[in-house]
Amino acid sequence: MATRVIPPRILNNLRHKTTTTAANKSFNAVHSSLSPAAVAPSSLLEKPPSAPAPAAPPSILNLEDAEKLFSAVPTTKLLRTSAVLHATAVEPMVDLGMWAMRSKIFQKGMMKDIVMGLTRRTFYENFCAGEDAVSAGRSISSLNDAGLRGMLVYGVEDAHDNDGCDRNLHGFLHTVDVSRSLPPSSVSFVIVKITAICPMALLERISDLLRWQQKDPSFILPWKQDSLPIFSESSPLYHTQKRPEPLTPEEESDLELANQRLLELCQKCAQGNIPLLVDAEHTTVQPAIDYFTYSSAIKHNNAENPIVFGTIQTYLKDAKERLLLTIEAADKMGVPMGFKLVRGAYMSTESRLAESLGYASPIHNTIQDTHNCFNDCSSFLLEKIANGPGSVVLATHNIESGKLAAAKAHELGIGKVNHRLEFAQLYGMSDALSFSLSNAGFQVSKYMPFGPVEMVMPYLLRRAEENRGLLAASGFDRQLIRKELGRRLKAVF
């Protein structure tokens, strides 16, 4: 696929841009916010205390009819889901499970077999799609029968050398092949983790160099390709305490290999017309991930529907500003952008790091601030795709955010199997929200990691550790599942 040629005049205007004035105007142009506690037009970050909260729009989702919501789910799967969700809602149970999976006592011999067997039959089967891409394809077929789609996630995370990166690339390419072999549109996205195709140490080095260039625009990075704004004025830069050394020739060679891996994956996705969604990570390496994502988007997003999607974590205080700057720059370049909005999964990691360096956490101070940020960014992006090119994935387990986004999309005439809007939830979680959105006519996907239990274990541990609140808050689904299981039991007897 040919590389988009960007006029130098536009590139010069966009490089190193950090001001947020124009971005504020773009955001404030949104007519109505999704957030029940919306920001006032004069502010991106906080709502004046005196501003009244608008009334919530009427919901177009039916979340009460458990029989209809779970009509496509076998009783055996409902029973397992109920058991797993109840277990993960008990924090001591989560602590015990995490200890067992990490303990050296259970990493060899019979004890390992017992732990792996229990994990496979419980958490793994509930939250993962299978041991390989073929079995994941079968899981997606079952989802399709229930009216949902799948986001295929090859379940590797961090790589530390080029050999590991090459092996991981092969797995991602095979995932695209399997996706193409399934019925059209049954796979909505293939997910890639840049941490799996570029060595972690190099991602940390690139992030340091990008942060320093943000501090000092005269700092030249000769290897840097055309990209979009990565930072805003409020972005945390405390990770990089001193001027980093330039990349060594060996590091530049490794960077070129990483660029080639991502290029090959993007080209394969473009050929198969399957969007590639880049997952977000912790802020230590996120600048490098955004750099890879945006430079790839410039090359490959040359039609109305993006091929390369980025991820915005709205629990970060600078999320809105960065999103707006990136959208504004992409609009000037004529590059249609796709974004997945999430809240974020590294809260404890981020807070500990900031505290250790003597800085405030980059995470919003309250959960409501995070909800507001997600809803406001969601509203802004829905307005964007209603009036022009681009796409958005709203990845949320929050019932209110789902209701608000559905109402906003309905108001704008988006959705109803619109290819520019996708809702998403994790496989094995928030099924009631998934089915209610699907029943209302929206496209809905499940995030489906796959791979051998040992390989996917870091994913399972991270889900358990970083999503304690989410797992404990799964009471809505647990209640509806109990209601439906009770109804089925009465029907039998």
In this prediction, residue 102 carries a pLDDT of: 65
What's the Rg (C-alpha) of the chain? 22
Section 403-419 average pLDDT: 83
Q: How many CB atoms are closer than 10 A to CB 308?
A: 27
Q: How many CB atoms are closer than 10 A to CB 107?
A: 13
Q: How big is the CA angle at 187 (ends 184 and 193), to the nearest 5 degrees?
A: 145
> What's the half-sphere exposure (Cβ side, CA atoms, 13 Å) at 475?
4
Q: How many CB atoms are closer than 10 A to CB 60?
A: 17
Model pLDDT for residues 143-199, shown as the tens digit of each residue: 999 999 999 999 887 899 999 999 999 999 999 999 999 998 899 999 999 999 999
Question: How far is it, in rounded angstroms, from Cα 427 to Cα 82?
Answer: 14
Q: Is the distance from CB of 234 to CB of 321 less than 8 angstroms?
A: yes
368 Cβ contact partners less than 8 Å away, ≥ 6 residues apart: 37
DSSP symbol at 305: S
Model pLDDT for residues 81-101, shown as the tens digit of each residue: 888 887 776 667 666 666 766
Question: How far is it, in rounded angstroms, from Cα 116 to Cα 101?
Answer: 8
Phi/psi at 182 (nearest 5 deg)? -85, 165
In this prediction, residue 155 carries a pLDDT of: 87
Question: How far is it, in rounded angstroms, from Cα 29 to Cα 383?
Answer: 9
The residue type of 390 is: G
In this prediction, residue 349 carries a pLDDT of: 86
**Per-position DSSP letters for 219-238, written without gaps between them:** ---TTPPS------TT---T
113 versus 28: the higher-pLDDT residue is 113
Is residue 467 over pLDDT 70? no
Q: How many CB atoms are closer than 10 A to CB 186?
A: 17
The residue type of 128 is: C
Is residue 12 over pLDDT 50? no
The sign of the torsion formed by the CA atoms of 263, 244, 290, 353 equals: positive
**Confidence bin at 59 (pLDDT 50/70/90):** low
The closest of 22, 23, 77, 73 to 319, measured between CA atoms, is 23
In this prediction, residue 341 carries a pLDDT of: 97
Q: Is the distance from CB of 411 to CB of 60 less than 8 angstroms?
A: no
In this prediction, residue 5 carries a pLDDT of: 35
The SS3 assignment for 424 reads: strand
Question: How far is it, in rounded angstroms, from Cα 230 to Cα 283?
Answer: 12
Residue 409 belongs to what H/E stretch? Answer: helix 399-412
Model pLDDT for residues 129-146, shown as the tens digit of each residue: 998 888 898 899 989 999
Tokens representing residue 57 in the block: 């729009």
Predicted TM-score (pTM) of this structure: 0.84
The closest of 83, 63, 68, 17 to 322, measured between CA atoms, is 17
Section 68-84 average pLDDT: 89
In this prediction, residue 222 carries a pLDDT of: 96
Give long-range contacts, CB 8 A cutoff, 24+ apart: 456-459.
456/124, 456/128, 456/155, 457/101, 457/119, 458/157, 458/158, 459/128, 459/155, 459/157
Section 205-216 average pLDDT: 97
Q: Is the distance from CB of 29 to CB of 380 less than 8 angstroms?
A: no
Q: How many CB atoms are closer than 10 A to CB 461?
A: 15
Q: Is the distance from CB of 150 to CB of 129 less than 8 angstroms?
A: yes
Question: How far is it, in rounded angstroms, from Cα 377 to Cα 395?
Answer: 12
β-bridge mates for residue 150, sequence order: 187, 446
38 Cβ contact partners less than 8 Å away, ≥ 6 residues apart: 32, 47, 51, 53, 54, 372, 375, 376
